[in-house]
Amino acid sequence: MKKEKIIVVEDNPIIANDIKNILEEDNYNVVIDVGSVNEAKDILKTESPDLMLIDIKLNGTKDGVDLGRELLVSDAVPYIYISSYSDKMTLERVKETRPQGFLVKPFKAIDLKTIVALVIYNNRHKQVDPVRESVPLTDDITFRIRNAINYINDNIETKIDLSDVASISKYKVHHFIRVFTRQVGMTPYQYILNRKIDKAKAALEDSDLAISAIAFDYGFLSYSNFWSAFKKVVGMSPEEYRIHQRIKSYRNQELKN
């Protein structure tokens, strides 16, 4: 499965590497060594990231807010500012660019991961979530796909039959797949699998449930089916993921103590 790509616009290589290491734990494709507005604009000519993390103080005559202003106009990439500057004058400039988030340095790893996950998820759904739009949408296609997504999320713990999802949208299955893919940016199969794996990851981290029980809880036909799907999406087996997360949690607790 394609990893979400994040471009980090940060002129401090130590901070950029820290961000990269934190986000790669959650399986993102993180691009660094972008330290100026001009470098960011150049990389956007060839790359289509899912998110940009932008420091405000950058190399060159333009700063991160100048870049945010240009991204606001194009409306092609969501962006979050990460900065030690949080004074009122800076925030007034930032507000004019309407970013999807702002994280003050120094930040905790969990705060970075949380805001990144939420922004990417929300951006993925912006075409099917008219509540987020400043102008109410009346597009029938949008509402049909949104209803299908709501059905998927409400039934994520069961085996979801695509014909049932398509019937919610009132489209025939093949047409539903084409429309869903165009609106959401992935096929219904990919969306359902990603949501199931996200839920399973949370269960592996936050509970002591047997992995086979988690597999059946989220509608997988067998443990082996779940194991293969999980490894394909996450890049490691469910067992490896649980151990990895618990070691990381233990280390974080040790650092706090």
Per-residue pLDDT tens digits for 132-182: 444 444 457 777 888 898 899 889 888 899 999 999 999 999 999 998 998
Nearest to 163 by CA among 200, 154, 151: 151
Which pLDDT score is estimated for 176? Answer: 94
Provide the pLDDT for residue 128.
58
pLDDT of residue 255: 62
Rounded CA separation 254/257 (Å): 5
pTM of the model: 0.62
At 73, the amino acid letter reads V
Here the tokens at position 148 are 């299908």
Q: What is the pLDDT of residue 150?
A: 85
- The mean pLDDT of 16-33, rounded to a whole number, is 92
- Which has the minimum average pLDDT: 140-144, 211-215, 222-226? 140-144
SS3 136: coil
Q: How far apart are CA 72 and CA 68, in angstroms?
A: 6
Q: First CA to last CA across the chain, in angstroms?
A: 38
Find the largest Cα–Cα distance for the chain. 58
CB 174 within 8 A of CB 163: no
Q: In the predicted model, what is the mean pLDDT of the chain? A: 87
The Cα 58–Cα 81 span in angstroms is 12
Between 127-141, 166-180, 200-214, 239-253, the lowest mean confidence (pLDDT) is in 127-141
**Structure confidence at residue 254 as a pLDDT band (50, 70, 90):** low
What does the pLDDT average to over 100-117?
90
Residue with tokens 């900065």: 83
Q: Which residues contact 33 (CB under 8 A, 6 or more apart)?
A: 13, 16
Helices (H), ranges, the chain = 13-24, 37-44, 64-74, 88-96, 109-124, 140-154, 162-169, 173-184, 188-206, 211-217, 223-234, 238-256
- Other beta carbons within 10 angstroms of residue 207's beta carbon come to 12
Going by C-alpha positions, the residue among 122, 121, 90, 124 that lies closest to residue 105 is 90
